[in-house]
Amino acid sequence: MRQLLPVAAGLVVLAASACSAPTPPRSAVPSATPAGPATLPAPTGAHPVGTTTLYLKDTSRPDPWNLDADARELKVTLWYPAERRDGRRAPYMSPKESELLLKGSRTAGVPDDTLSRTRTNAIENAEPAGREVPLVVLSPGFTKPMSTLTSLAEDLASRGYVVAGIDHAYESYATTLPGGRIAECLACDSDTDPGFGAGVVQSRAADVSFVLDRLPSTWDGAGLIDRSRTAMVGQSIGGAGAVAAMLKDPRVRAGIDMDGTTYARIPEGGFSRPFMFIGSPPHVPGGGDGSWDRDWKRMTGWKRWLVLSGAEHQSFTDGPLLAGALGVKPAYGVLPGARAAELTRTYVAAFLDRHLKSRPQPLLDKPSPRYPEVRFCSATCGGS
């Protein structure tokens, strides 16, 4: 189940466990001189972007990983259309989170706080703008904090979505909880256990339902959200969690799995809500572990299966965008970070615009000469 990525080191190989996650190399040594702090690409939408953080506690269930916790704690980061562009830019992550993430991924040769100095675009605690826009739940890969999907989250917010990114406590190398407590990866001790992936996605589905329950009463800007238009997008095990959440909760109308093996079984009667797989070359039909082939056959509604030539597991995250700050040179033939981010943002937004805003998206109907890396698949994959 584990595999090494074709990239030498650093965040680009921050893997994702048994849930399509590669094992970090024994010593991830930068292959070039670090280029200084990374800057995330500017959002492409018309709206300024604000961000804020909520801490939620589900007292109805114990934490599945921390046996000493009788309640499930979650950190939820919100990105949303904002009134103004000026103000303090939100931090990417804290210095301690950067230290633990680099340590967990066995990245050496750069200062511990390197990732915390990444420059974002969202304004911290900015006033929300407008009203009744769709909601997108984001879920990261195993061992990854939610911050590793910041570029996608900021872009979606700039296009007129509220994005709720969930840090699933004890499933990443570092999640900061109230009072400065750090939840480290307790689940990492169990990731080779039989049934681990299935257990994780069920837990994440419960996390998503709880966040949807509580968000209207815990965020002052919740009036901005049209709760009848909700989708979920995830990378790796987060993408698998999108399937599980949709099977559990009818409020999630549409979903995207970005390069994640799936675990929740779709009933034989089928699954009719819109869904999109978007992945790296191992996820072509008949490849990988077969989970996409299995689920594709039972998806009876609108569906797409896209494979990006040159992509690898972290191409759908901020990882390649941060490679320069870590002194990492991607392997030959791997999509450059900026292009990977462009493709991910473009196709994710097109799917959401079609299914949450009812806007026609010809881009999703056939291959585009603008994006020759994107292949449309079903029983096989075609080119552009």
**Is residue 382 in a domain?**
no
pLDDT of residue 328: 86
pLDDT of residue 1: 32
**Is residue 260 in a domain?**
yes
* Residue ranges, the chain, pLDDT below 50: 1-30, 384
pLDDT tens, residue by residue, 250-289: 999 999 999 999 999 999 889 999 999 999 999 999 988 9
**Is residue 3 in a domain?**
no
Domain that holds residue 14: 10-29+38-377
Tell me the C-alpha distance between 279 and 214, whole Å. Answer: 32
pLDDT of residue 178: 94
**Is residue 2 in a domain?**
no
pLDDT tens, residue by residue, 48-103: 999 999 999 999 999 999 999 999 999 999 999 999 889 999 999 999 999 999 99
Total number of domains constituting the chain: 1
Amino acid identity at 151: S
pLDDT of residue 321: 96
**Is residue 118 in a domain?**
yes
**Is residue 5 in a domain?**
no
**Is residue 318 in a domain?**
yes
Answering whether pTM is above 0.85, one says yes
pLDDT of residue 378: 87
pLDDT of residue 191: 85
**Is residue 224 in a domain?**
yes
CATH number for the domain harbouring residue 309: 3.40.50.1820
